[in-house]
Amino acid sequence: MDSQRASTLEEIEKALEKVGLEYSNFENKVNKDEKYLVFGSFYVVEAFLKNRKK
């Protein structure tokens, strides 16, 4: 993601580990039986939705 406001993956992983949340990297595969939590800017959500439609 090219944005001056974007966090690094390392920063996000540290924050998730600090609060004890499990996570996994999104591998561009959407399972219709799974639920996904997408958070961040509208830019991030838009990118997820566009990728989901492929």
Q: Quick count: other Cβ atoms within 10 Å of Cβ 7?
A: 13
pTM: 0.53
Q: Would you say residue 50 has pLDDT above 90?
A: no
More confidently predicted of 1 and 19: 19
pLDDT at 52 over 80: no
CA 4 to chain centre: 17
